[in-house]
Structure 1
Amino acid sequence: MKQLKSIFNLTTLMFISMISWSQEEEVTITIDSLTNEVFMLTGQGGNIGLFVNATNTFMIDDQFARLSPKIKQAIATITNQPITYLFNTHMHGDHTGGNAEFNSKTTTLIAQDNVRKSLEQRIIEKPELNNDILPEISFSEELTLYQDDETIMAFHVHNAHTNGDAMIYFIKNNVIHMGDTYFSGRYPYIDINNGGSVNGYINAQKKALMLIDDNTIIIPGHGRPSNKQELTTYITMLEDIKDNTLKAIELGRTLEQITTDTTISGAYDTDYGTGFINPERLRSTFYTSLKK
């Protein structure tokens, strides 16, 4: 058990180190126009969603604090309206790092209950932060906002990437932001230390699959915009790796044996294993989560 915790803590530290290192690079904010009203902004960290209509602007995630001026400049090329709502899909710093920079009298922050709890803990650990990073509105399971002729549904998915993940679905525009419950084109990072799990991750994606249709545009937490067909293929991949891992566990294989066993994920490593989470880390995560 100590070995499992040590290995997973190392993965978490490497993720944090990767974020810190990436913040030193020069960043360009790029914009994808997904519909007439919904946009995806890519820079460093989690993909930002932006909904803009005649009267309101709704933003999803905000990357890192140091990028806020660039992100604001990019948004200004789309709209000069103030941001009405800023929604955090979960607690990680590459999605919430700019909260204080965007929080204002005209902007209300929203997140799932566990996200606010995590950010409250972050303030305790980092006294230089203040309550400006905290959501003013939090919810347990579901929240619905009505923006003129658009209905925005936010819903909690349990123990997926973390314990506080939420997806946001723009019904009229038929666009869903899945946060880090979907890493398009790459293996996922499942944060077990913060409540994530393999089963919860797969179940979250299946919930999204039931909601969307063949024309839905998916904004992933990381990667390029996606669709139902690609998400379906992704779920098949995760379930196959899960089944292979469970069979190996039943045979009494150890963490080290599963981590080095290329047959468990080998069919997918070329297509999905070149991101931050390489095949070895993925297999380690699957073992750690499923062994529980």
Structure 2
Amino acid sequence: MKKVLLSALLLLPGLASAQMGDMSKVQVKSTPVAGNVHMLEGAGGNIGVSVGPDGILIVDDQFAPLVPKIRAALGKLTKGKDKTPEYVLNTHWHFDHTGGNADFGREGTIVAHTHVRTRLMNGQELMGMKIAPAPKEALPTITYTQGLSLFFNGEEVQVTHLPTGHTDGDSMVYFTGSNVLHMGDQFTRDLFPFIDLESGGSVDGYMRNVERVLQTLPAGAKIIPGHGQLASREDLERFATMLRESVELVKGKIAAGKTLEQVKAEGMPEKYKDWGSAFIKTEQWLTTVYQGLTGQKPGAVTK
């Protein structure tokens, strides 16, 4: 998917300006999910939106250049009454999910796990790219360690920390009345996920978090993934199966004494061929699993 690849490129601010032409062509599409909740797709992470008498609440906000288009989409949902979120909930710190923070944070309240604030405030290195510290307006002003609830638009919005998974600061957001769960990048439908080992992510932790969600997911819940189409329990179960099979496959090869290069050369089962069609290719996914299981640092030279 081109938009996922673009998301990765735009993590680097210097590249962001170079890609403005592409961003100008991005369309922000709105899809009703259930109850008060809608999903916006553009470039970067999927945005969850709650619209109702209390105003607008959004989960993640993609890239700064898309803010005018996101506002326009929000205006359509409110029939022109409002385009500004009262709350912005960040599922994690990555720039394709927090790029609009500086704009929306001037008028609304940003809420995120404490590690999200720390990483945005200090700047990070991601896949060899230097990410500059975020401006004050982009920083969460309400943080938590385990989770919290907001009561908004007639329902409880439960925000729950998912430890050491995609990063060390991920959260899922459950709209209790609408029965909609936004999982951020703890779930990418029918795509190999990016697990940020440099930001406290963990292959085992990622898998545990997905299993935990499956154990507690209410019947009939709709799921907004970090990337990919709107999903259901069946889609998340398929994703969990891929994670289990990937880990068992690589564990077996490590036990057999195979190197990373051999593991990549042998690949994944044919049924997962299309899962590497977006940003994270099959070789990258196997590299992440191998490094996560062996404790090898990302970027290390292997033979």
Q: Residue 32 of structure 1 aligns with which residue?
A: 31
Which of the numbers 203, 221, 225 marks the counterpart of 2:226? 221
Q: How far off is 1:270 after superposition?
A: 2.2
| Structure-2 residue corresponding to 1:63 | 62
Check if 1:209 corresponds to 2:208. Answer: no
State the 1:260 CA deviation. Answer: 1.3
Map residues 9-28 of structure 1 onto 2, 5 A cutoff. Answer: 16-17=8-9, 19=11, 20=15, 24-25=21-22, 26-28=25-27
Hey, what's the Cα distance between the residues in 1 that align with 2:219 and 2:281? Answer: 30
- Give the TM-score normalised by structure 2: 0.86
Residues 16 and 230 from structure 1, CA distance in 2 versus in 1: closer, same or farther, beyond 3 angstroms?
Answer: closer
Query: Which residue does the alignment assign to 1:78?
Result: 77
- Is 2:46 the counterpart of 1:47? yes
Q: Secondary structure at the match of 1:260?
A: helix
Q: Structure 1 CA distance, aligned partners of 2:72 and 2:7?
A: 28
How many residue pairs were aligned?
A: 276
Partner of 1:282, secondary structure, is helix
Contact 2:8–2:279 at 8 Å: present in 1 too? no
Q: Does the CA-based 8 Å contact 1:213-1:228 persist in structure 2? A: no
- Equivalent position amino acid for 2:28 in 1: I
Q: How does 1:272-287 map to 2 (within 5 A)?
A: 272-287=275-290
Matched letter for residue 290 of structure 2: Y
Partner of 2:160: 155
1:191 is matched with which residue?
196
- How many Å apart are 1:150 and its aligned residue? 0.3
Shift in alpha-carbon separation, 1:163–1:156, aligned structure 2, 3 A: same
CA displacement at 1:268 relative to structure 2: 3.4
1:108 is aligned to 109
CA offset at residue 278 of structure 1?
1.1
| Equivalent AA in structure 2 for residue 72 of structure 1 | R
Q: State the match for 1:98 in structure 2.
A: 100
CA distance in 1, matches of 2:75, 2:100: 16
Q: CA deviation at 1:60?
A: 0.6
Could you tell me which runs of 5 or more consecutive residues in structure 1 were left unpaired when the two chains were aligned: 1-13
Letter in 2 for 1:220: P
Deviations 1:266-291 (A, max 9, x none): 24322412111111111111100011
Residue ranges of structure 2 left out of the alignment (5+ in a row): 1-5, 125-129, 296-303
Whole-angstrom distance in 2 between the partners of 1:137 and 1:213:
27
Contact 1:214–1:229 (CA<8 Å) still a contact in 2?
A: no
After TM superposition, the score normalised by the length of structure 1 is 0.89
Q: Aligned partners of 2:114, 2:280: CA distance in 1, in Å?
A: 28
Distance of 1:18 and 1:122 partners within structure 2: 15
Determine if contact 1:214/1:227 at 8 Å carries over to the other structure.
no
Taking the aligned partners of 1:88 and 1:200, their CA distance within structure 2 comes to: 20
Residue 271 of structure 2 corresponds to residue 268 of structure 1? yes
> Cα distance, 1:15 vs. partner?
7.5
RMSD: 2.1
- Retained in 2: the 8 A contact 1:152–1:170? yes
What's 2:264 paired with? 259
Identity of aligned pairs, percent?
Answer: 35
CA–CA distance in structure 1, aligned partners of residues 181 and 66 of structure 2: 24
The separation in 2 between residues aligned to 1:148 and 1:64, in whole angstroms, is 26
Cα separation, partners in 2 of 1:245 and 1:18, compared to 1, 3 Å: farther
Alpha-carbon distance, 1:95 to partner:
0.4
